[in-house]
Structure 1
Amino acid sequence: MIDIETHSEQDTIALGAALGRVLSDGDVLALQGDLGAGKTHFVQGIAKGMGIDEPVVSPTFTILNYYEHAVPLQHFDFYRLEDEYELDDLGFDDYLTRGVTVIEWSEKFPERLPEDAARVFIEKKGLTERIFHFEFNGARWAAAEKEVESYVVSH
């Protein structure tokens, strides 16, 4: 596990951008954190790092925001989902094989996450201070892990 502290929304976005630069087709990130932990800011950074210019907003009410790009970004929010069958209605499993998939409130349906999904736990430490706990699973995450570690060194 790698732990990284951020001290502002800008830091959180910058951390996401560093990670977004090395994500590739089929990557799944499972985010966990309380309301206001910075999950959406982190995803805004990921989109920026991937080269997506359009505004990234929380999909709390839409469940999924899809951002078309060379490698698309699929931003899910499980917060309002009650039953697992709702994922089936969305065709959730079909999204996991292509693009970059980022899931807020992923802990609601942990059994639906791919085994090799990266897990990111965001802990609020103050008004804008956060600790990101990264857990990378498998060889596919070597570049992401290296990028996150180098982010620590440069900040």
Structure 2
Amino acid sequence: MIDIETHSENETVALGIVIGKMLAAGDVLALKGNLGAGKTHFVKGIARGMGIEENVVSPTFTILNYYEHTIPLLHFDFYRLEEEYELDDLGFDDYITNGITVIEWAEKFPDRLPSHAAIISIEKSSSMDRIFHMEFNDDKWIHIEKEVKRYVTSR
């Protein structure tokens, strides 16, 4: 596990950029955190790191925002979902194999997350400060974990 602090929206986006540059098709990031924790700002950074120019917004009401790119970004938000069958109605399992998937409010349906998903819990420690608790549970994340550690020590 890695813990990283950010002290502004810009730093949260910058952390996302570092990670977004290294993601590959099939990667899944499960984001956990209260309202206002910075999940969407983090996803904005991931998209920028991937080279996506579009404005990234929270898919709270649409459940999924799909950003077309060389490798597409699938940005899910489970906040408004009540029952697990709703994921089946969306075709969730089919989507997560077709690009890079980032899920906000992933804690709502933890049993539906693939075993290789990176788990990122975001804790709001003050109005601007955030602590990112990152768990990389699979060997596929070793290079990203090393790069994130390097980024933290270089700031």
TM-score bucket (shorter structure): over 0.9
Superposed displacement of residue 150, structure 1: 1.1
User: Given residue 79 of structure 1, which amino acid in structure 2 is its aligned partner?
Assistant: Y
Task: State how 1:103-114 maps to structure 2 within 5 Å.
Answer: 103-114=103-114
Q: Give the number of equivalent residue pairs.
A: 155
Deviations 1:54-81 (A, max 9, x none): 0000000000000000010000000000
SS at match of 2:4: strand
1:73-119 per-position Cα deviation (integer Å, ceiling 9, x unaligned): 00000000001111001000001112100000000000000011000
Match of 2:2 in 1: 2
Q: Which residue of 2 aligns with 1:35?
A: 35
Structure-2 residue corresponding to 1:18: 18
Task: Give distance in 2, aligned partners of 1:25 and 1:123.
Answer: 27
Q: Distance in 2 between matches of 1:129 and 1:118?
A: 22
1:132 is paired with a residue of what secondary structure? strand
Q: Does 1:88 align with 2:88?
A: yes
The residue type paired with residue 83 of structure 1 is E
For 1:125, the equivalent position in structure 2 comes to 125
Structure 1 window deviating more from structure 2 (101-110 vs 138-147): it is 138-147
Look up the match of 2:76. 76
Question: What are the Cα deviations for residues 29-64 of structure 1, in whole angstroms up to 9, with x where unaligned?
Answer: 000000000000000000000000000000000000
Tell me the SS of whatever aligns to 1:83: coil
Give the TM-score taking structure 2 as reference length. 0.99
| Contiguous gaps of at least 5 residues in structure 1 | none
**What is the distance in 1 between the residues matched to 2:136 and 2:95?**
20
- Which amino acid is 1:67 matched to? Y
d(CA) in 2 for partners of 1:139, 1:124: 29
For residues 22 and 143 of structure 1, the distance between their equivalents in structure 2, rounded to whole angstroms, comes to 8
Give the ranges of 4+ consecutive aligned residues of structure 1 lying more than 3 Å apart after TM superposition.
Answer: none
TM-score between the two structures when normalised by the length of structure 1? 0.99
Cα distance in 2, alignment partners of residues 144 and 72 from structure 1: 19
Q: Distance in 2 between matches of 1:49 and 1:58?
A: 17
